[in-house]
Structure 1
Amino acid sequence: MTDRDTLFTIGQLAQRTGLDARTIRFWSDAGLVPPTTRSAAGYRLYDTEAAARLDLVHTLRELDIDLATVRAVVDRQTSLAAVAAAHARALDVEIRALRVRRAVLRSVAHRNSTTEELRIMHELATLSAAERQRIIDDFVDEAFAGIEPDAPGAHIADGMRSMPATLPDDPSPEQVDAWIELAELVRDQGFRDRCREMAVTGARAEDAQAAPEIDMAAGTAALEAGIAPDSAAAADILTRAVPDGIDRIALADRMATFTDGRVERYWSLLAIINGRPARPPMVPGAEWLIAALRAHP
């Protein structure tokens, strides 16, 4: 008798594979590993081909592939390669979800968050890419509603929509925190109203043409140097930073319209989420210039 002619009982298959005899019997009853023949006493017997089939079923089940798919593979209704590819994709999704969950837990530990904060963080962090983008799109659509695409400043809307298709495979606690903060920010009606005001004002052609060229870096440098906006030194800085003949109060009012720390934070959060380097803060310097312009009209 050759190896090909060797027949195994369920008990012998169990010893050969390390599987429980009840599991083999269940798979046999399910038609995944049908017996080759039966003994005179009615016991199921399996040849080497059936044993190899059992090995395949065992491997697929170890990979957590469902019984219906296992049956399709062993019956050759679908290829093993196709099943492996599909299962790998499913595992990729599961792994990403686990990594996001891990990042949320790390963030909770870092922030010492409450139970309610944990729930909110988990809900926001596990939104699909489409759901995250929809939150941002709704906010941007409201801010730029009725503004022509070619209006001054309208192109900013494209940048404000720049959410990544997915959170990174292994998001850092900072990225999870940034997404949560961003989602909370765009849901704040006061922030939405402020962005709408900036978008509408910026889209007016006459306002865009009236904007003078001023040295914004001068405000940052003066702030870092500890110079008070109402000091004589500040007046000297304005002389160099602002063109002659400018209505300084009107300029200060215009700058105030487009200066908001929360808007700057919006761009910083987008940079963190997209893995881009953060831009240096401009608002503190701009606020110094606004105060200096009003102090020295």
Structure 2
Amino acid sequence: MNGDTLYSIGDLARRTGLTVKTVRYYSDLGIVSPADRNPAGHRRYGVDAVARLDLVRTLRDLGLGLPVIRQVVERESALPAVAAAHADALDVQIRVLRLRRAVLRAVARRGATPEELTLVHQLARLSTDERSRLIGDFLDGVFGGPGFDARFAGVRRSMTPELPDDPEPEQVDAWVELAELAMDDDFRGLLRRLAEEEAAEAGVGWPRPGLAAVVRELAGPAVAAGIDPGSAAAADVVEAVVDRYAGLVGGDRSDSVRARLVERLAVLGDPRRERYLELLAVVNGWAAPESWAAEAEWLGQAAGCSAVGCSAVGRCAVGRSAAGRGGW
């Protein structure tokens, strides 16, 4: 190719794949300037115009605006720095698009109403600081107050969701549902009662993890063996659990201790509590928490049977839907 060859706008359009109108527009903007004009006054361009237009087309395909492109081709801005800045901007756009996708999938799966759509969208768009305040208020209601802050500091940290900067759709979905739970005053009150009961039990020397460990240790083998909760063998397990529980809470073995145990199982087994822990694991990218649902259900049924007869099984405090997880 001869370095002195000059091209018309039509020539440049054919060589670069751009339209004549686009080439003329870029020329009018000064992104590509003519090297000369023919006797009729038509613009003529040098070989460098082909390379420049190829670069412009590539940058446009990558989403850069014309003012930035002009700075690049005029070497007023270094291409690596421009590329890095644009990549950062695309990262933000990608996160926004993924968030929108997650919201739409959550709404589709829930069959949400227009009002619910608004709530889901608002919760998903909260900033890091806003999410922190929402969860902070929730955990303050559960663990805050004199004597509680220090005692439950570790538990509080373990129950704090931390949504990544670039979350997966399922993490966004889990965060939205978890935030809805955190705004449930009844759920907050249930966890507060659980904290108060555990604080009182810890005051008499109950080591953590407490009830969850007792249930797994004593009821787990019975569940694995398929022992009927209304059987004599199940009654023996209940007596062993009541004995251990009475010793841990510093009380005499009595019907009140048994009743307190069944009530504790019901509170620990609230399905919302288990769901919070499941969602927390998804948001934080943790392994799913170990469930003691079967053991809690079985023990609650067995305790009801041994206390008032097997006809009470259907009225037992811990049912199949109310199964909790160990610890918090």
TM-score (norm 2): 0.73
Q: 1:263 maps to what in 2? A: 273
Matched, 1:209 2:205: yes
User: After superposition, where does 1:267-286 map in structure 2 within 5 Å?
Assistant: 267-282=277-292, 285-286=295-296
Q: CA deviation at 1:237?
A: 0.7
Paired residue secondary structure (1:209): coil
Q: CA deviation at 1:7?
A: 1.7
Q: CA deviation at 1:192?
A: 1.5
Q: CA deviation at 1:158?
A: 0.5
Aligned CA RMSD, in angstroms, stands at 3.4
Q: Distance in 1 between matches of 2:137 and 2:219?
A: 34
Q: Distance in 2 between matches of 1:252 and 1:154?
A: 30
* Paired AA for residue 253 in structure 1: R
Q: Distance in 2 between matches of 1:110 and 1:91?
A: 28
Q: Distance in 1 between matches of 2:292 and 2:157?
A: 21
Decide whether aligned partners of structure 1 residues 200 and 166 sit closer, same or farther in structure 2, where only a CA change above 3 A counts. farther
User: After superposition, where does 1:43-82 map in structure 2 within 5 Å?
Assistant: 43-82=42-81
User: After superposition, where does 1:1-297 map in structure 2 within 5 Å?
Assistant: 3-147=2-146, 151-166=150-165, 168-169=167-168, 171-172=169-170, 175-203=171-199, 207=203, 209-210=205-206, 215-217=214-216, 218-219=218-219, 222=222, 225=226, 227-228=228-229, 232-243=232-243, 246=247, 247-248=253-254, 249-250=256-257, 252-253=259-260, 255-256=264-265, 258-282=268-292, 285-286=295-296, 288-289=298-299, 292=302, 296=307
* Paired AA for residue 236 in structure 1: D
Q: CA deviation at 1:56?
A: 1.4
Listed as ranges, the gaps of 5+ residues in structure 1 are: none
* Paired AA for residue 268 in structure 1: E
* Paired AA for residue 283 in structure 2: I
Q: CA deviation at 1:264?
A: 2.2
8 Å contact from structure 1 (residues 60, 70) kept in 2: yes
Q: 2:313 maps to what in 1? A: none
- Which is further off, 11-20 or 211-220? 211-220
Q: CA deviation at 1:265?
A: 1.7
Q: Distance in 1 between matches of 2:67 and 2:137?
A: 42
8 Å contact from structure 1 (residues 221, 285) kept in 2: no
Q: Distance in 2 between matches of 1:109 and 1:101?
A: 12
8 Å contact from structure 2 (residues 37, 43) kept in 1: yes
8 Å contact from structure 2 (residues 64, 86) kept in 1: yes
Q: CA deviation at 1:273?
A: 2.5
Decide whether aligned partners of structure 1 residues 206 and 125 sit closer, same or farther in structure 2, where only a CA change above 3 A counts. closer
CA offset digits 1:112-153 (Å, max 9, x no partner): 444544444444344444444443233223322235687333
Q: How many residues align?
A: 292
How much identity, in percent, do the aligned residues show?
A: 44
* Paired AA for residue 153 in structure 2: A
